[in-house]
């Protein structure tokens, strides 16, 4: 039987090293994965199929992140299915040589070696910067000007 610790380590190392097609297999068929600190508040990922799409979709930019998990601390809880893992993804952008660190805390419920629930607290601004997507994230967060309002304000 795979322990919660082993499952978590397979996940974070797999995010860095691949194969990405296999990462969804670490999750139960029905799961609940949220990113509570994501500034755009995306919908939860609720199935292995959604997670497969999440892990295998190409990034929106042509950047390659050479990364690894560092400073990993795993806290076991009174509930043997639940762990809290503190770590960071650290590395360099291959195309620019830019160094980055993305701090994370995952709170996970893992049953029979499969992730059935995870709250992934990630520094999404640092992640967007590493991927070269900070400007587009900030644009998405800005209130959109309504053309109706603009037309109404014109004399």
Confidence at residue 145, expressed as pLDDT on a 0 to 100 scale: 64
pTM > 0.75: yes
- Residue 140 is classified by DSSP as H
pLDDT at 146: 57
The fraction of the chain above a pLDDT of 90, given in percent, is 84
- Which residues, in sequence order, are CB contacts of 26 under 8 Å at separation 6+? 7, 10, 11, 14, 114, 115
Residue 117 forms beta bridges with which residues?
32, 109
Give the confidence band of 60 by pLDDT, cuts at 50, 70, 90.
Answer: confident
pLDDT at residue 142 greater than cutoff 70 = yes
User: Is there a domain that residue 65 lies in?
Assistant: yes
Angle at 7 between CA 109 and CA 122, to 5 degrees: 65
Q: What confidence tier does 51 reach under pLDDT thresholds 50, 70, 90?
A: very high
Are 100 and 65 spatial neighbours (Cβ–Cβ below 8 Å)?
yes
Residue 151 belongs to some domain of the structure:
no
Instruction: Check residue 77 and give its pLDDT.
Output: 97
State which residues form the domain around 61.
4-136
Number of domains in the chain: 1
Q: In the predicted model, what is the mean pLDDT of the chain?
A: 92
| Residue 62: per-residue pLDDT | 73
- The whole-number average pLDDT for the span 124-150 is 83
pLDDT for position 113: 96
pLDDT at 15 exceeding the cut of 90: yes
**98-124 residue pLDDT tens:** 999 999 999 999 999 999 999 999 999
pLDDT at 63: 86
Does residue 142 fall inside a structural domain?
no
Would you say residue 143 lies in a domain?
no
Asked if residue 148 belongs to a domain, the reply is no
Q: What is the CATH number of the domain that holds 8?
A: 3.10.450.50
Work out whether strand 114-122 and strand 27-34 pair parallel, antiparallel, or are unpaired.
parallel
Residue 154 DSSP class: -
């Amino acid at each position: 039987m795979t322990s919660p610790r082993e499952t978590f380590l397979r996940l974070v190392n797999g995010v860095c090293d691949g194969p990405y097609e296999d990462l969804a297999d670490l999750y139960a068929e029905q799961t609940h994965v949220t990113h509570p600190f994501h500034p755009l508040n995306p919908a939860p990922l609720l199935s292995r199929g959604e997670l497969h799409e999440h892990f295998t979709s190409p990034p929106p930019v042509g950047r390659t992140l050479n990364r690894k998990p560092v400073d990993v601390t795993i806290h076991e809880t009174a509930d043997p299915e639940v762990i809290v893992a503190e770590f960071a993804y650290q590395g360099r952008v291959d195309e620019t040589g830019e160094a980055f660190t993305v701090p994370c805390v995952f709170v996970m419920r893992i049953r029979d070696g499969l992730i059935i629930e995870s709250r992934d607290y990630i520094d999404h601004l640092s992640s967007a910067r590493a991927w070269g997507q900070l400007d587009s994230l900030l644009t998405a967060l800005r209130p959109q000007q309504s053309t109706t309002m603009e037309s109404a304000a014109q004399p």
